[in-house]
Amino acid sequence: MRKVFTLLLELRCQNFCVFCGQREVDETVVRVRSLAGLSTPETKFGAKRARYTLESAVAALRAAHDEGFTEVSLQGGEPTLFPDIVQVVAAARGIGFERIGVVTNGRKLAVEAFAEALVGAGLDNLSLSLVGWDEATHDAVSLAHGAFAQLIAGVRNAVDAAARLEQQVTINVNLTTSAATVDHLSDQVRLLAALGVDAASIHLVRFNNLAADPVVRESLRFDIRRITPALALARAEATRLHMPLHATDVPICLHDSLVADELALVLHRADIGQQTFQGPDHTYQPSRTRLATQPTACSGCMVERACPHIPPEYLPADPSTTLRPLTPERITAYVDDELALLHPNDARAAGRVADLAHSVELLSQHAQTPALAGVSARLRGAFADLTQLAHSGGDWGHALEACCGYFELRAQRSPAIEPSWLGAPIAELSRRTRAIPASAASSARLRFVHPFEVSLTGTSSGNGDFVLTAIHPILPPPSQRVSKSLVTLFLAHIYRPLIGARRLRVTEERLQVDYGDGFRLAWSFRRGGAITLVPHSGEALSAE
């Protein structure tokens, strides 16, 4: 289980967002809100005035790491106002945190030198907040003139710095969704795709703390049923522009379709075993108690434990008219409808079926129910048939895309595949790759989707690295009746980047290979832990 430590590094902020619940409330906040016609409700942090020093912040990080926390998020207020934030990030990297993130309004990143220093200090994730869909709405909600222009400049600087420094930093923009923006999600997607961000995430305004003001509540709340068509349009635009869009803050039952990536993120968030928020003079853990309005409406849902809370302000009087529990019966009916609508000659049919198969398996594993086993088997059979059809028709692009979906990998932008590989029979490919039967597996296995594995001979460092002396793909036995086209695609496209590697490195999000000149990316995963490195005994070493 994940352990996430959030350090509230600086509770001041140069924005005055009308809904903020996690910032210092001082005389300036009261004055700005009063000028906007808003009251200032009491908040958890209203009277907090203590400050971290560099030494005390680093000490808090060391203590958290000693307690077993593996991920750290630097938040506020506005963490970039802390004068030594770059040193704090570098210290967190030196302490040994596996993942380091910063959540910011992005304004200070408009200074190019600061953006480069922060990105280069050792960040894994940078999350910026967009609270409007254009300059007028963003500045109005943040109660700060010029905030939008500085945020956009900050995003550009961060993206450019990551590329220039060749840093593997995920730059994500949080879309704080309210009545001011829900109908403009597609506009936000187009804006962010043009800026080159890695992903965007939809977050709903919560009506507590400063957002408890009646004027704020009535101006920003909306009927949650509006999110479904808005999300469908935004997701289609994001797909067109090749930018991931996530809505894990919205219950899966309100999404326009069942998507494996989205479901995996929801379940990944639910995998947090401990989450602690710590400021300079206070510590707390977020409550996981569900709202009283939801249990009846959500009874029997397979993802009830992982589902985000929906504030009652978004719900109609009878939540059961809106919230629809994901039960095995409903998923079965949904899959039946999806399969009935797919045409065998549709170039993207195989990819959609692969995604559905993973969604069903994720639900089945999370709920620990065998009720969906038949649905999963039917989807995998349909996928094999569709892949074979694309393979035999020479439609390599979509066949490879579907194949990557099947193995829970992200398709490489420019896969270098020689026609001779794809056209070769399995016997020839087995000779080229020195494939072996499962019974001849060596000291460890790199496990993709059953029964596709790679046999490794060598030594493991115990932290995800494996020093190789030999590497072979493991071919599934004929008795399993695995699609020959799928075996071909696995050998030619999935296994091929591993040939000649001297070392492998398996992390939560990627598989890297070293041919003797340093590690480089072989594959990135569609969900954390999609690929595992397991010893001969079967005990997982990493990526879970």
451 with 389, same domain? no
- Inside any domain, residue 176: yes
Please confirm whether the linkage preceding 458 is cis (ω < 30° from 0).
no
DSSP conformation class of 2:
E
pTM above 0.85, yes or no: no
Strands 510-514 and 519-524 come out as antiparallel
**Residue (of 254, 256, 202, 203) closest to 232 by Cα position:** 256
423 with 502, same domain? yes
307 with 394, same domain? no
335 with 311, same domain? no
CA-CA distance, 412 to 485, in Å (whole number)?
19
pLDDT (tens place) for every residue of the chain, 544 residues total: 689 999 999 999 999 999 998 888 989 999 999 999 999 998 876 666 789 999 999 999 999 999 999 999 999 999 999 999 999 999 999 999 999 999 999 999 999 999 999 999 999 999 999 999 999 999 999 999 999 999 999 999 999 999 999 888 999 999 999 999 999 999 999 999 999 999 999 999 999 889 999 999 999 999 999 999 999 999 999 989 989 999 989 999 999 889 888 888 888 777 777 889 999 988 888 765 444 345 477 888 998 888 887 888 999 888 888 888 999 999 999 999 999 988 877 767 877 888 898 899 889 888 888 899 889 888 878 887 777 777 677 676 777 777 787 787 877 654 455 556 666 777 888 888 888 877 766 678 888 877 888 988 888 776 668 899 889 898 877 766 677 777 888 888 888 888 889 999 888 788 899 999 989 888 888 766 778 777 754 444 433 2
- Inside any domain, residue 288: yes
CA-CA distance, 196 to 140, in Å (whole number)?
25
421 with 375, same domain? no
Residues 123, 176 contacting (CB under 8 angstroms): no
- Inside any domain, residue 322: no
- Inside any domain, residue 198: yes
376 with 436, same domain? no
Please confirm whether the linkage preceding 451 is cis (ω < 30° from 0).
yes
- How many domains is the chain partitioned into structurally? 3
| Half-sphere exposure of residue 504: CA atoms within 13 angstroms, side-chain side | 36
CA-CA distance, 212 to 40, in Å (whole number)?
9
C-alpha distances in Å from residue 450, one per residue of 274, 351, 411, 453, 474 = 31, 18, 19, 7, 11
372 with 452, same domain? no
231 with 374, same domain? no
Owning domain of residue 215 = 2-315
- Inside any domain, residue 411: no
CA-CA distance, 489 to 259, in Å (whole number)?
23
CB-based burial label for 345 (10 Å; 0-12, 13-18, 19+): exposed
For the CA atoms of 263, 269, 270, 276, the dihedral, rounded to the nearest 10 degrees, stands at -170
- Which of 384, 406, 428 is at the close of a domain? 406
Q: Which spans in 342-483 are helix H?
A: 349-367, 373-392, 396-406, 419-423, 426-433
Both structure tokens of 435: 């494939």
333 with 400, same domain? yes
**Which strands, in side-by-side order, build the sheet including 2-10?**
245-246, 199-204, 170-177, 125-130, 99-104, 71-76, 2-10, 272-279, 282-284
- Which of 345, 379, 406 is at the close of a domain? 406
454 with 394, same domain? no
53 with 17, same domain? yes
- Inside any domain, residue 321: no
